């Protein structure tokens, strides 16, 4: 009679071989993964050839997070566009506002998801995990903010941001009054519109440039 140990070895060897045989007959899960290593559609200039101010921004960012976001490398091809894009981005996302940085990132994720922007959903989803300090809610917002476990304030913000992202959006007094009832000011509403509109532009540029998220974003704060 076969011992338990011999029986275990037999089944392990048999099923491992069968599984490998099955896998050999299947197509490769991802045979185009090299594409994910390219920053964008266009070749980025070497770092040493970048203008000094742009190279300094890239170096500083790398020292903080360990890599240079591909959006930097994509826009570096046109330095004036880089400077102006980053200047307004940083004002909206890091400047003075009644909105927290996590709330601002949430707006970006919602708008970017609606616009099917891979780069912005992945990159700003990572930022939301870091700044929001709640991976569960961050992932819920990425997948479907409408079913996420949100506070009334954040739900109101995202509802309005989603409306701003709609074609032909015109602000209604009812929308603004609803936000004020949640404690938001006129300038807060202004910021919601500015962020949603700016990333509507950013999403479309990322799509045109075929911008790929850095691999590091996928694992950030996991």
- Is the pLDDT at 26 greater than 70? The verdict is no
How sure is the predictor about 14, in pLDDT bands with cuts at 50, 70 and 90?
low
Within a domain: 160: yes
| pTM of the model as a whole | 0.84
- Please tell me the total count of domains within the chain: 1
Residue 53 CB-density burial (10 A; 0-12 exposed, 13-18 middle, 19+ buried): exposed
Could you report the per-residue pLDDT of 81-139, keeping only the tens digit for each? 999 999 999 999 999 999 999 999 999 999 999 999 999 999 999 999 999 999 999 99
What is the residue range of 172's domain? 38-219
Q: What is the pLDDT of residue 7?
A: 55
Mean pLDDT of the chain: 90
User: Is 56 inside any structural domain?
Assistant: yes
pLDDT of residue 167: 86
C-alpha 104 chain-centroid distance? 12
pLDDT score, position 41: 84
More confident residue, 151 or 11: 151
176 occurs within a structural domain: yes
- On whether residue 4 sits in a domain, the answer given is no
Would residue 175 count as lying in a domain?
yes
Please give the structure tokens belonging to residue 47.
């770092």
Q: How many CB atoms lie within 10 A of CB 114?
A: 17
Q: What is the pLDDT of residue 183?
A: 98
In this predicted structure, which of 15-29, 73-87, 130-144, 147-161 has the lowest mean pLDDT?
15-29
Q: Is residue 210 part of a domain?
A: yes
C-beta separation of 50 from 78 below 8 A: no
With DSSP H G I counted as helix, E B as strand and the rest as coil, what are the percentages for the chain, rounded to 5?
70, 0, 30
Give the pLDDT of residue 43.
Answer: 84
In a domain, residue 81? The reply is yes
**For position 78, which CATH number holds?**
1.20.1290.10
Residue 61 lies in a domain: yes
- How confident is the model over 41-61, as pLDDT tens digits? 888 889 999 999 999 999 999
- As a whole number of angstroms, the distance between CA 21 and CA 142 comes to 37
Question: Residues near 133 by Cβ (< 8 Å), separated by ≥ 6?
Answer: 102
């Amino acid at each position: 009679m076969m011992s338990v140990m011999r029986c275990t070895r037999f089944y392990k060897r048999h099923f491992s071989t069968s599984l490998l045989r099955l896998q050999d007959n299947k197509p490769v899960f991802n045979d185009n993964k090299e594409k994910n290593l390219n920053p964008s559609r266009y070749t980025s200039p070497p770092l040493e050839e970048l203008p000094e101010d742009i190279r300094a921004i890239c170096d500083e960012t790398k020292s903080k997070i360990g890599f240079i976001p591909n959006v930097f490398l994509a826009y570096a091809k046109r330095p004036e566009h880089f400077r102006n894009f980053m200047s307004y981005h940083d004002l909206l996302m890091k400047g003075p506002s009644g909105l927290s940085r996590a709330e601002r990132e949430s707006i970006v994720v919602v708008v970017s998801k609606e616009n099917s922007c891979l780069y912005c959903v992945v990159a700003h989803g990572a930022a939301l995990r870091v700044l929001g300090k709640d991976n569960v809610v961050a992932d819920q917002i990425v997948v479907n903010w409408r079913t996420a476990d949100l506070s009334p304030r954040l739900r109101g913000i995202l509802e309005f941001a989603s409306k701003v992202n709609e074609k032909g959006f015109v602000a209604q007094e009812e929308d603004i009054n609803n936000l004020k009832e949640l404690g938001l000011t006129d300038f807060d509403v202004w910021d919601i519109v500015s962020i949603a509109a700016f990333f509507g532009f950013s999403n479309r540029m990322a799509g045109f440039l075929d911008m790929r998220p850095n691999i590091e974003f996928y694992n950030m704060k996991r």
